[in-house]
Chain A
Amino acid sequence: MKINFTINGINKSVEADGDSPLLWVIRDGLDLKGTKFGCGKAACGACTIHVDGKQVRSCSFPVKYAEGKQITTIEGLSGSESDLHPVQQAWMEEVVPQCGYCQPGFMMATAALLAEIPNPTDEDIDNNIINVCRCATYYRMRKAIHRAAELHANAIAQQ
Chain B
Amino acid sequence: MTENKKQNQSKGVKRRKFLKYTGAGLGLMLGGIWLARNPLRRAMLEMGETTILPYQGDTNPLLWLEVRPDSSIVLHSSKVEMGQGTFTGLAQLAAEELEIPMERIRVQHATTQSGNIDGMSTGGSMSIAALWTPLRELAATMRVMLMAKAAEKLSLPPDQVTLKNGVFAAGGKSLTFGEVVEGVTDWDIPKAPPLKPRASFRHIGHPIRRVDLREKVTGAPIFGMDATYSDMLYASVLRPTHIDAEITNVDTGEAEQMPGVVQVVREADFVAVVAESQVEADNARLKIKFDHQPNRNWNLEDVLKAVTVGNGKKTVFQKEGKAVEDISGEGEIIEMEFRSPIGAHAQIEPNGAVASYQDGRVEVKISTQVPKITRAEVAKALGIDQKDVNIIPTYLGGGFGRRLHTPHAVEAALLSKAVGRPVKSFFDRIQEFQNDTFRPPSHHIMKAKLSPEGKVLGLEHQFASGDTFFNSALDPGISATVLRADFGSVRGGALIYDALPHRSTYYHVDLPFATSFWRSLGLLANAFAIESFMDELALKTNQNPVSFRLDSISDENPYGVRAKKVIEACAERAGYRDTVLNGRAMGFAACIDGGSPCAQVAEVSIEDDKIKVHKVTAAFDCGIAVNPDLVKAQVEGCICMGISASMFEKMDLKDNKLSPVIYGAYDMALMKDSPKEIDVILLEGVDYPGPVGEPPLGPIGPAIGNAVRRLTGKRLTELPLDLNQKNTADPA
Contact = CB atoms under 8 A, between A and B. Distances in A.
B219 interface: yes
Contact of A97 (B83, B399, B639, B676): B83
Given A139-B678, A142-B674, A43 B664 contact: yes
Contact of A135 (B83, B220, B395, B662): B83
Contacts of B644: 136
B676 A122 contact: yes
Contacts of B396: 99
Interface string A58-83: 00000000000000011100100000
Contacts of B278: 24, 28
Given A24-B277, A138-B674, A103 B225 contact: no
A21 B395 contact: no
A99 B674 contact: no
B519 to A, nearest CB: 10
Interface string A109-151: 0000000000000100111011111111111111000000000
B209 A95 contact: yes
A99 B676 CA distance: 22
Contacts of A36: 223, 225, 348-349, 397
Contact of A134 (B84, B214, B346, B676): B346
A103 B398 CA distance: 12
A102 B630 CA distance: 18
A40 B428 contact: yes
A91 B212 CA distance: 13
Given A134-B641, A140-B636, A95 B429 contact: no
Interface in B645-673: 662-665, 668-673
Nearest to A133: B348
Contacts of B213: 92, 95, 97
Interface string B331-356: 00000000000000111111000000
Nearest to B223: A101
B348 A101 contact: yes
B397 A139 contact: no
Contact of B640 (A74, A130, A136): A136
B279 interface: yes
Contact of A100 (B212, B259, B674): B212
Interface string B188-231: 00000000000000000000011011111111111101101000
Contact of B279 (A17, A34, A46): A17
B82 interface: yes
Given A28-B277, A139-B640, A99 B83 contact: yes
A103 B673 CA distance: 18
B350 A37 contact: yes
Given A24-B277, A138-B669, A74 B219 contact: yes
B348 A44 contact: yes
A136 B213 CA distance: 17
A122 B671 CA distance: 10
Contacts of B234: 28
A48 B223 CA distance: 17
A99 B279 contact: no
Given A28-B278, A138-B669, A43 B637 contact: no
A153 interface: no
Given A132-B348, A134-B400, A141 B83 contact: no
Nearest to B636: A139
B660 to A, nearest CB: 10
Q: How large is the interface on A (under 10, 10 to 19, 20 to 34, 35 or more residues)?
A: 35 or more
Nearest to B673: A138
Q: How large is the interface on B (under 10, 10 to 19, 20 to 34, 35 or more residues)?
A: 35 or more
Contacts of B676: 122, 142
B675 interface: yes
A74 B630 CA distance: 24
Given A137-B637, A139-B674, A95 B629 contact: yes
Contact of A126 (B222, B350, B671): B671
A44 B432 CA distance: 14
A102 to B, nearest CB: 5
A88 interface: yes
B225 A135 contact: no
A155 to B, nearest CB: 17
Interface-centre pick from A39, A74, A127, A134 (highest chain B CB count, 10 A) = A134
B429 A41 contact: yes
Interface-centre pick from B85, B259, B644 (highest chain A CB count, 10 A) = B644
A38 B212 contact: no
B633 interface: yes
A95 to B, nearest CB: 6
Nearest to A45: B663
Contacts of B216: 97, 100, 103
A125 B348 CA distance: 21
Contacts of A28: 234, 277-278
Contact of B348 (A126, A127, A134): A134
Contact of B219 (A33, A43, A122): A33
B226 A103 contact: no
Contacts of B678: 139
A74 B218 contact: yes
A135 B668 contact: no
A100 B279 contact: no
B671 to A, nearest CB: 5
Given A125-B671, A138-B669, A101 B397 contact: yes
A39 B217 contact: no
A75 B400 CA distance: 28
Interface-centre pick from B84, B210, B643 (highest chain A CB count, 10 A) = B210
Interface string A83-99: 01000100110011111
A134 B347 contact: yes
Contact of B218 (A34, A39, A127, A136): A34
B675 A73 contact: no
Nearest to B345: A134
A21 B283 CA distance: 12
Contacts of B209: 92, 95
Interface string B66-87: 0000000000000000111100
Contact of A43 (B212, B398, B643, B662): B662
A73 B218 CA distance: 10
Interface-centre pick from A31, A43, A136 (highest chain B CB count, 10 A) = A136
Contact of B225 (A17, A37, A107): A37
Contacts of A95: 209-210, 213, 629-630, 633
A141 B216 CA distance: 14
Interface string B601-644: 00000000000000000000000000001100110110111011
Contacts of B347: 99, 101, 134
Given A88-B217, A98-B633, A132 B672 contact: no
Contact of B671 (A24, A44, A91, A129): A129
Contact of A75 (B210, B219, B225, B671): B219
Contacts of B670: 130-132, 138
10 contacts: A21-B279, A33-B221, A36-B225, A43-B664, A75-B219, A97-B210, A98-B634, A122-B676, A135-B637, A137-B640
State the 6 A-B residue pairs at the shortest beta-carbon distance, nearest first: A34-B219, A101-B397, A99-B83, A98-B83, A136-B640, A100-B216
Interface of A: 17, 20-21, 24, 28, 31, 33-41, 43-44, 46, 73-75, 78, 84, 88, 91-92, 95-104, 107, 122, 125-127, 129-142
Given A33-B223, A130-B670, 17 more contacts: A17-B259, A36-B225, A36-B397, A37-B350, A43-B665, A74-B218, A92-B217, A97-B217, A98-B637, A99-B398, A100-B83, A100-B397, A101-B348, A132-B346, A136-B644, A138-B640, A139-B678
